[in-house]
Every structure is written in structure tokens, then in C-alpha cells.
Chains A and B, each alone.
Chain A
Amino acid sequence: METVLHILALILLVLGTALSLIGVIGFLRLPDVYTRLHATGKVSVFGLVFLLLAADILTPLATWKALLLIFFVLAASPAVSHAISSAAYRAGIPMLGKRDDLKGKLERGKEKDA
């Protein structure tokens, strides 16, 4: 039983680190603020949650605290990404994409102010 749990924790650690690495590479390579936010979401949701599940198995007494932190991260990280992208739109950071669903609904500032 112990060995099975440790193998599961090892798989969770490697998977979380690989997904975090994919997110950071995307954060370096993608051209735009909005697309970069798409990459950083992977780090906070997949990487951190898999690491916390591994800590749940490996660290003694960590069960409910790690579950609380998973719940908090899953609630907070989409809100943070949405706040940053909304701030980027309102500050007038240029988008590479053609389609703009918010045109005329939110006012955009000049990019120089940001």
C-alpha cells in the first residue's frame, strides 16, 4: 500500500513539473499578453494542484490543509487571470487576434498610460 502511494506521488510530482514547464515555456515564447496569460493558467491550475496532491500523500498531517489550498487556488487563479486580461484590455494593450467581442462595450485607454 505504501509503495503504491509513493509511486502515485512520484507520478503526480513528475506530471505537475512537466505541466509547469510547458506553461513557463509558453510564457516565454508566446507573443502577446493575452496568449501569455493562457500559458500561465497551466502553471497555477495543473502544476500547483498536482504538487499539492503529491504533498497530500507524502507530508504527514497535510491532508486538509493541502485540500484547502487546492480549493483556494482553483477559486483564485481564474479570477486573477481574468482581472489581468481585463486590465490589459482597458489599458489598451494591443491584441494580435482579429476578433474583438468587447468592442464598444468597454472603453480602451492609450497604451502609453500603462
Chain B
Amino acid sequence: MDAILDIAVWVVLVAHLLMFLIAVYRVMRGENAISRLAGYDLASTLTIAILVIISIIRANVFFVDVAIAAAALSYLSTIVLSKYISDHKVF
């Protein structure tokens, strides 16, 4: 059972890395700024997911702390960037 779980966690990690590459490609080749911003939001969500998978692989809770910090930073940056793109000012 544990062997199956190990293989499954590695397959899940590789799948999330591929999805992260797709999102980064969409950020580079988006058709307008908002589409790139949606891709950035997707990429940051997948970053949090990859950190959680690494915490499962290493059996270490430290990476969940890093994921919490990354979630807070990506939330703030996406909100501020969307306001900046639509209104041309932040505050």
C-alpha cells in the first residue's frame, strides 16, 4: 500500500509541474493583460499545490508554512495587479 502511495505522490507532482509549465506558457503568450493575469493566478495556485505535495513527499510540515505565506502573497499581488490594470492606479 505504501509503495502505491509513493508512486502516486510522485505522479501527482509531475502532473502539477506540467500544469505549471502550461500556465507559465499562457502568461508569456496571453492575448491581453487580463488573460495573462488569470494565468498568473493559476500559476501561483499551482505553486501552492506543488509545495503541499513536497510536504507530503518529505513528510515535513515546514513546507505547509511556506505554502501559507505564498498563498497570502499571491492573493495580495493578484488583487493589486487587477486593480492596477483596470483603473491605472493602485489606491
State the A residues within 8 Å of B (CB).
3, 6-7, 9-10, 13-14, 16-17, 20-21, 23-24, 27-28, 33, 36-37, 40, 43-44, 47-48, 51-52, 54-55, 58-62, 65-66, 68-69, 72-73, 76-77, 79-81, 83-84, 86-88, 90-91, 93, 109, 111, 113-114
Residue pair B34, A24 in contact (C-beta under 8 Å): no
Main secondary structure of the interface of B (DSSP, over half): helix
A93 to chain B, nearest CB (A): 5
Known A-B contacts A84-B82, A86-B86, A90-B86; A65 and B1 likewise in contact (beta carbons under 8 Å): no
Residue pair B41, A80 in contact (C-beta under 8 Å): yes
Residue pair B79, A80 in contact (C-beta under 8 Å): yes
**For the complex of A and B, 10 pairs with smallest distance between CB atoms:** A87-B86, A87-B82, A88-B34, A90-B86, A76-B75, A44-B45, A24-B19, A83-B82, A62-B61, A61-B61
21 pairs across A/B with beta carbons < 8 Å? Answer: A10-B8, A13-B8, A20-B15, A27-B22, A27-B23, A36-B35, A48-B52, A51-B12, A59-B56, A59-B59, A59-B60, A66-B64, A69-B68, A79-B79, A80-B41, A80-B79, A83-B78, A84-B37, A84-B38, A87-B85, A114-B32
Instruction: Report Cα–Cα, A81/B87, bound state, in Å.
Output: 17
Number of A-B contacts (CB under 8 A): 153
Instruction: Report Cα–Cα, A75/B47, bound state, in Å.
Output: 18
Instruction: Report Cα–Cα, A77/B52, bound state, in Å.
Output: 17
**Contact residues in A for B23 (Cβ distance below 8 Å):** 24, 27
A17 to chain B, nearest CB (A): 5
Known A-B contacts A17-B12, A72-B68, A86-B82; A55 and B38 likewise in contact (beta carbons under 8 Å): no
Known A-B contacts A27-B42, A62-B55; A87 and B34 likewise in contact (beta carbons under 8 Å): yes
Which single member of B12, B35, B41, B71 contacts A72 (CB below 8 Å)? B71
